[in-house]
Chain A
Amino acid sequence: MDISCDNRMVREMARDFARNEIAPIAAQMDEQGHLDPGLIPKMAELGFWGIPWPEEYSGAGMDVMSYIIAVEEISRVCGSTGITLAAHTSLGTYPIAAFGTEEQKKKFLPPLCSGEYLGAMGLTEPGAGSDAGGTKTVAIRNGSDWILNGTKTFITNSEYAGSFVIAASTDPPAKTHGITAFIHERDIPGFRVGKHENKLGLRGSSTTELIYEDCRIPDSQRLGEVNKGFKVFMKTLDGGRISIGALALGIAQGAFNEALKYSQEREQFDQPICNFQGVQWMLAESATKLEAARHMVYHAARLYSRGESYHREAAMAKLFAAVAGREVCNDALQIHGGYGYIKEFPVERMYRDIKLCEIGEGTNEIHKMVIARSLIKDGYPRHDFE
């Protein structure tokens, strides 16, 4: 596939790093329900936490494709580390880099890019998931500050985060037109990180509630204009979707690799099971799905890099990679027979991990809604209507 020399070097480095440093601890992180404490600093040393941001903010100054490839490679061995990187970069850091003032960028980007702390983004609430416009957390102006009250739920990276980008309603009756984005640090009065969710998969990643009780945030940490926050989050999710596509692609590729190897080693009926057509068809279909998913995810990343519109393509790539990836993981487990159901084999974990890709940053159904709206508005394919 057509990738640059930088992209190739990132792939090799990320693959070596993932194989040597993450794969050996992936099962343990899943079991214990948190990341290995040494992993974040180790990844920081190599610059993983700031891949696509400018060097002046301590980023690596690379293209989005390099970032997407890094997420894919890491997710091949550990989805939990993959989503931690994806949520940090696309949700926790992107909105500040894209919408922040120079002052906000100077304050938050260097520690985020250097991995001094991670970033999190809080949009979802107990009563506002797919309908993110239904945000109940309110921010009321008080002098030069805002006072926040409300609860966010399912927020990735909270345990490790030093900065949070969150949505609050500043004009509740106006719904989506009354949402404002804020950035805040971890240790501020009136804010606390709630309970750690006990999850089906991606168990090594941190998912918690965020609780705001008369929490004061200065107006200087408002991100973007008052009542214009919904756009900030929708644009953030557009890019985030490419990274969840890469997460799905990586997890599924990892499961496929295990299955391909296992099918050549496992013998039944006096021969390797890869001789059986029933197994071959699973392998062939899985590889074909991976190939298609990879083209779609990389295509969306390229559109992003070139500064073209990627809204629909990112949604299509995420939807396809998540569904196809879940099917690939299912077949990979099936090829392992009873052993695939047992924790000694990594496919068991990968099968659980990939399910999130059909839910997080918008469910499959919401993605179809996003895609359909864009079809009705702009036609398909794009160039036919230009």
Chain B
Amino acid sequence: MKIAVLIKYCPDSEAAINVVSGKLDTSSAKFSVSPYDEYACEEALKIIESQGSGEAVVFNVGPEKNGKGLRDELARGADRAVHIVTEKEITCPEFTSRLLAAALKQENPDLILCGWKGIDYDLGITGTKVAEKLGIPHVMVVSKLTIADGKAICTRQVDSGDEIIEVPLPAVIGAQKGLNEPRYPSLKGIMKAKKKPASQITPAQLGVEEPTGKAMYTGFTFPPSKSAGKKFEGPESVVEVVRLLREEAKVI
């Protein structure tokens, strides 16, 4: 089974992000593969291990430096990388998904795994758009996945219980936390990653142009800083808490 994994290379969840005159400044941030995409890659490796054979191909769209993210996944165990190299970071999911869909068409994977959203812009749309462009089904926010008889059986946790959804393959599945516990890249894996095939293609080679008339980010601001919280202890403070909730916070 050939499994494609779509990975995004984002500022680390602990990275400090600055806003400079309405623009994001990530120049001092450490980048890493978005955690949801790590679940996706781990799931691909587990499926291949349980089936005894297969190929996991990791895909990324973005500037040269994103190659590091692809190499991290090769070190974890992915077999091959395809890097669609752009000059700058692409923040338009329509463009990203057109590029990915074009590259995926050339590869014809049996299954496409991705994170259900990136931890940077929190859009949660690229996987869905890729499925639409390829004309195949998709299930997002999946926390359990079983592959059998050309089908994917997906579990989605909802407030009141679990939804079980079955789709025929190929399909795009978006990983949610809880799907698995991603492995660490082993030291031998890090050495092997260097020798694994990694190809680079440009948007022009894929024949994809930047869409026009798309939504664009026009500015970023930080939320207003919160004032320090108040601490109440002991049953005797209940009356005071209720009074403050009513009079100060005006929530009851």
Contacts and interface: CB of A to CB of B under 8 A. Distances in A.
A60 B191 contact: yes
A13 B191 contact: no
Interface string A38-59: 0000000111101100010000
B57 to A, nearest CB: 20
Contacts of B32: 12
Nearest to B182: A16
B68 A10 contact: no
Interface in B166-189: 184-189
B186 A9 contact: no
A57 to B, nearest CB: 13
Interface in A1-22: 5-6, 8-10, 12-13, 16-17
A21 to B, nearest CB: 9
A66 interface: yes
Contacts of A66: 187
- Chain A, interface size: which category? 20 to 34
Interface in A94-137: none
Interface residues of B, number: 15
Given A6-B191, A61-B191, A46 B72 contact: no
B40 to A, nearest CB: 18
A140 interface: no
A371 interface: no
B206 to A, nearest CB: 27
A44 B115 CA distance: 30
B71 interface: yes
Contacts, number: 47
Contacts of A61: 188, 191
B75 interface: yes
A370 interface: no
Interface string B48-84: 0000000000000000000010011001000000000
Contacts of B68: 5, 8
A77 to B, nearest CB: 15
B190 interface: yes
A23 interface: no
A16 B185 CA distance: 10
B71 A47 contact: no
B188 A13 contact: no
Contact of A13 (B71, B184, B194): B184
A9 B184 contact: no
A9 B72 contact: yes
The binding surface of chain A is classed by DSSP as helix
B187 A48 contact: yes
B187 A16 contact: no
A8 B184 CA distance: 14
B184 A60 contact: no
B190 A10 contact: yes
A12 B12 CA distance: 12
A357 B184 CA distance: 30
Nearest to B181: A20
Given A9-B71, A9-B72, A9-B75, A16 B190 contact: no
A147 interface: no
A47 B191 CA distance: 11
A325 B193 CA distance: 35
A279 interface: no
A66 B184 CA distance: 16
Contact of B71 (A5, A48, A62): A5
B227 to A, nearest CB: 15
B71 A46 contact: no
Contacts of B185: 9, 13
Contacts of B194: 6
B191 A46 contact: no
A12 B191 CA distance: 14
A146 B30 CA distance: 57
A314 B194 CA distance: 30
A11 to B, nearest CB: 11
B75 A46 contact: no
Nearest to A66: B187
B233 to A, nearest CB: 19
A46 B184 CA distance: 7
12 contacts: A9-B72, A10-B187, A12-B72, A46-B186, A47-B189, A60-B186, A60-B188, A60-B190, A61-B188, A62-B190, A62-B191, A66-B187
Which 3 pairs across A and B sit closest by C-beta, in order of nearness?
A47-B187, A60-B187, A46-B186
Interface of B: 32, 68, 71-72, 75, 184-191, 193-194
Given A13-B184, A60-B187, 18 more contacts: A5-B68, A6-B190, A6-B191, A8-B68, A9-B71, A9-B72, A9-B193, A10-B187, A13-B75, A47-B189, A48-B187, A50-B187, A51-B187, A55-B188, A60-B191, A61-B188, A62-B191, A66-B187
